[in-house]
Amino acid sequence: MAVGVFDLLHAGHLHYLEQAKSLGDELIVVVAHDETVRKRKHEPITNHDLRRRMVGGLKPVDISIIGNPPEIPIFEILKSINPDKIALGYDQKHSISSIKSGLIKHGYDKIEVLRVEGLSDDLDGTRKIIAKILGIWPSNEGGPYEED
C-alpha cells in the first residue's frame, strides 16, 4: 500500500509508486481525501476524484482508492485493504516508528512499514515544481511565450 496527495502528478510520484510496487505483488494506492489535504497541507489543486483517476492510470498501480475524510480515524482504511506493507515516500513526514506503534496499537502488528528512496531530480515534488514555474514566469510577464 502507498499513500499520498498526488496533487499535480509528476515524476517523483511515479518513482515512489514504482518503488512501492517493487515491494510486493499488488499495489493499492490511497489518494488523500480533499478534506484531509485541506486540513493537513493546503487547498488541493485537483479534486480527489481526478487525482484517484490519474494515479489509477499509472502502470505500477493495481487499485487506487480515495482515503477517508479526516473525521474517520486513519487506521480505519486498513480494514478494507489489509496490506502486508506500507510504503512511505522519501519526503513524507511520517515517522516509521510512530506509524508502527499506531499499527500495533490497532492490531496491525504484522504490517511492515518501509520508506522508499527519492528521485535524484530537483523537481521531484509538487511545491518544487510550482516554485520553479513561479520563478520562470513572474506575474509581471505575460507567460512563457513571447510574441515575434
The pLDDT tens digits for 77-104 are 999 999 999 999 888 888 899 999 999 9
Q: Residue 33 gets which letter from DSSP?
A: P
The pLDDT tens digits for 94-143 are 889 999 999 999 999 999 999 998 776 665 566 677 777 777 655 544 44
pTM over 0.75: yes
Three-class DSSP category at 96? helix
CA nearest 28: which of 103, 102, 79?
79
CATH architecture of 2-121: 3-Layer(aba) Sandwich (3.40)
